């Protein structure tokens, strides 16, 4: 009888090994790589495209430093929340360790969150912030982005400082009033709403005499902004002195319209300001066609996204590597960019 028990124990030992210590060894071997699913709301967005490139660079640097393979599965949601939801399902089915989501509709994050919770796959949202109620649903949800109010205050300060130094820098016709038009991002996007409010409020707080001519939604898009600006130049000839844009791409579209409609004319004196400090915008600042923009430190921004996702994938405490607000928010540092503070090329 004892001999039978001994044989039975010997027979069971390999199986027990697989379920305990050997299983742990296999689990460690699997961590020779991590897989991150990244969904971008719209591939053509210049800011997010630059951020995506920085994220890819971070992954390559980490691979080279550690030898741990990083698989970045980056896809375009094509501005469709249903498409993005399907992408999340696919990421989960592929066994992604963490998801990095630039959400299409910030008010529709619950579906993604429920799927992630069910599969126990953590999520790092970035650039487009889900509503607070959704972010509070689970302790494995994070957000990386810039503070929209800070962006707007810096933008307004660039203009106010220029006005204080020389009124004619904004008041082009010397009538004591700066007449402006406003290019806004998406109507439902929190950054658009906040940037619009606080850029104008900053100018008012600094006692810059401003008067709104008109404004419109251009959805962060250069071509839409260009079409709007062309229309405004024709409707309000000689009236517009300043273009305040929620982002750089729309400001660049306005510049293109000015060059088309009023090539060589007084319209070229119109002042413009944006936000994001994309490469094209920084070049426009250098050339003098854009008065200023706001740098969101894309390198640190991308580093925070990658570090949070990496820590979650490897079971490391996020707080040991990334400074978070409220345990789940990272806000990137921002600085003004004007011709005066650009590095010499």
- Name the percent of the chain in helix, strand, coil, to the closest 5: 50, 20, 30
Low-confidence stretches of the chain (pLDDT beneath 70): 1-30, 263-268, 345
Q: Which helix (H) or strand (E) holds 25?
A: helix 21-30
Nearest of 252, 253, 197 to residue 228 by alpha carbon: 253
Burial of 86 (0-12, 13-18, 19+ CB in 10 A): middle
Phi, psi of 89 (to 5 degrees): -55, -45
E-assigned strand segments in 130-239: 141-146, 178-184, 210-217
Q: What is the pLDDT, as a whole number, of residue 140? A: 98
Q: Are 123 and 142 in contact (CB under 8 A)?
A: yes
Q: Pick left, alpha or beta for residue 338 (phi over 0 → left; psi -120 to 50 → alpha; otherwise beta).
A: beta
- Distance separating alpha carbons of residues 277 and 47, to the nearest angstrom: 8
Q: What is the pLDDT, as a whole number, of residue 190? A: 85
> What does the pLDDT look like over 174-197, one tens digit per residue?
999 999 999 999 887 889 999 999
- Distance separating alpha carbons of residues 249 and 84, to the nearest angstrom: 24
Instruction: Please give the DSSP secondary-structure letter assigned to residue 335.
Output: E
Q: What is the pLDDT, as a whole number, of residue 188? A: 76
Q: Which tokens in the block code for residue 271?
A: 């002042």
> What does the pLDDT look like over 201-250, one tens digit per residue?
999 999 999 999 999 999 999 999 999 999 999 999 999 999 999 999 99
Sorted by sequence, the CB contacts under 8 Å of residue 103 that are 6+ apart come out as 41, 81, 84, 109, 112, 125, 128, 130
- For the chain, the first-to-last Cα distance in angstroms comes to 87
Q: Are strands 335-338 and 292-295 parallel, antiparallel or unpaired?
A: antiparallel
- Distance separating alpha carbons of residues 54 and 89, to the nearest angstrom: 25
- Distance separating alpha carbons of residues 16 and 2, to the nearest angstrom: 20
Q: What is the pLDDT, as a whole number, of residue 324? A: 97
Torsion, Cα of 269, 270, 273, 279 (10° steps): -50
Q: What is the pLDDT, as a whole number, of residue 263? A: 54
């Amino acid at each position: 009888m004892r001999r039978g028990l001994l044989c039975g124990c010997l027979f069971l030992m390999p199986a027990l090994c697989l379920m305990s210590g050997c299983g742990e060894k296999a689990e460690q071997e699997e961590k020779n790589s991590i897989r991150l699913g990244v969904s971008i709301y719209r591939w053509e967005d210049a800011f997010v495209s630059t951020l995506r490139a920085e994220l890819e660079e971070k992954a390559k640097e980490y691979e080279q430093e550690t030898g741990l393979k990083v698989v970045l599965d980056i896809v375009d949601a094509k501005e469709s929340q249903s498409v993005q939801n399907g992408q999340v399902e696919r990421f989960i089915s592929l066994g992604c360790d963490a998801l990095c989501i630039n959400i299409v509709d910030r008010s529709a994050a619950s579906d993604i969150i429920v799927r992630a919770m069910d599969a126990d796959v953590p999520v790092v949202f970035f650039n487009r912030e889900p509503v607070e109620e959704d972010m509070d649903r689970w302790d494995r949800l994070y957000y990386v982005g810039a503070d929209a109010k800070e962006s707007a205050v810096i933008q307004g300060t660039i203009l106010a400082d220029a006005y204080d130094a020389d009124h004619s820098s904004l008041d082009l016709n010397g009538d004591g009033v700066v007449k402006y038009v406003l290019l806004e991002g998406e109507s439902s996007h929190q950054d658009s709403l906040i940037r619009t409010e606080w850029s104008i409020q900053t100018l008012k707080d600094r006692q810059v005499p401003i008067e709104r001519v008109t404004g419109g939604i251009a959805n962060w898009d250069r071509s839409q902004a260009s079409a709007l600006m062309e229309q405004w130049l024709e409707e309000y000839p000689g009236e517009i002195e300043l273009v305040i844009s929620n982002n750089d791409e729309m400001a660049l579209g306005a510049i293109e319209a000015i060059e088309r409609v009023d090539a060589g004319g007084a319209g070229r004196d119109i002042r413009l300001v944006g936000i994001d400090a994309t490469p094209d915008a920084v070049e426009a600042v250098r050339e003098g066609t854009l008065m200023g923009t706001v740098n969101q430190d894309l390198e640190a921004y991308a580093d925070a996204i990658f570090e949070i996702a990496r820590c979650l994938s490897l079971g490391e405490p996020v707080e040991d590597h990334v400074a978070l607000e409220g345990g789940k928010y990272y806000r990137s540092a921002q600085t003004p960019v004007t011709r005066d503070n650009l590095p010499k090329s």
